[in-house]
A and B are shown apart, each in its own frame.
Chain A
């Protein structure tokens, strides 16, 4: 089943970020869950921003011959580059209970989604941030815990768009004129055509300043999320 850019799915639980009054995970790892085959588009509403909601992230692993499965993740990181360079994403899956699920799909892909779970209707709005081919799988084991790390690469296709953001925590301008803005992982549900996330090549405006993004660095875990967008 293809992962849609935007869908509403209420058939499974998800792991969410605890920052910004949201929660991340249900404690112990969840059993492997199959994505619902019924995908319903969320009716976009002008009132969505005012609705109580949690920020949520999901990681879906998929491969030919296997059903897509949502993996429980404790963190993920990514580096987005422009067309001619590979973009990278890595996720950490706590425990090793998902070893069979992952090794079965070692030649597949992982897809990171971000979205919101609306508390009034329990609906979820998810948009795919990146889908990448699995490059490596490794296990890390400590005295009392273990985890699996999956790294994946892909080449993003530029589809330049204009995005206006209203939140920048940190701005840096280097001597060579390159600019770096630290912001949140911005999703604008009202943006048309399902391309909700900032990608390299986009023109981003904040408080009257505009940059063309050519590199994005993302780090998300249960306690924080950070995205830096930069231009040369």
Chain B
């Protein structure tokens, strides 16, 4: 592989205006249909995982369920919260939904030469490409989060506020990990343009070449789209609905749409960057020469996309939600450092290769490096655990002052930090001793005999 210093993007930007429109509409329609199918698929797959039937009323095999849901949502009463900041409140769902679509403009559905013909016009299967295509995707994805943050803030209600705040923090921490995982890809492909990145994966997918980046990206993309197990901004068990609590009708539908379109978008980015984009998977590409030509690439692309969506659904069906602080810890203390170190390694390997060292030597260095990092992490974990234990032991040895629950004349529960004296408990029957007959009346245990206890109370 040779790093191409300046990529050739002259293929793009030559389409006539009507073809650009057709392509734009196609991208929009593709996303919409994909989302509708994904929602049905999600409900079906989750239903199977939970041994249910899932939706089966609308259309054959329940396929029109999401369409029916969409129509129903539009017909619902549209509420605007009285105390809300109305402009922002109305703007938020739009801000959330539109950038989700925009990122798709630079996703290649097929190779970057004139492979297909539409109405006699030969063109590429990509709306456009930019020399900084991936940065454009990162930018639009970040704007989308504003929708959630603003929705949370403008609703003027505690649950959405908490949801919006969580979303902000989540966004900030996971964008970094995501960006770092991209950087490794840039180093290897030598380009930020999506079509170039796919081109440079003709031998090996980056998922194989850069497994750590791939895993980091997969985690970050789930966090980025607010999906389980990272669906903290809309955690229904905690925040009712999170940022969308106060939304109804079409505005709520917009948020749902944005969430699913985002899912598709990040999956498309994962496909493009790590899974060879539109390239046919290995056994097929080896056997069939024409698999990467004509309209076929779109099929492979769609299949890969669908696979990633299935991953999202699988996660949702299996995992409980992470806690907010644990999630932040995962982002800042695990993903970002790991990505950094990995990026360092990748850069080093790249530089070595450019200087002409052979592959095996490099592999050895890399394996050694990874091993060393793991060893250090193990050591750190071990030491920390030890420290924790010592701390705990010291804490348990600390003297505690006596607490008398009856000091005020009547029994009170202990305040935080105070402890009750041990409460005498009845012994198990097997250990209990028989009380002599004379002391029977003093015995205060509840006697379980079958004779009723008679009491005269003057009546």
Answer yes or no: are A and B bound together in one complex: no
**A interface with B by C-beta (< 8 Å):** none
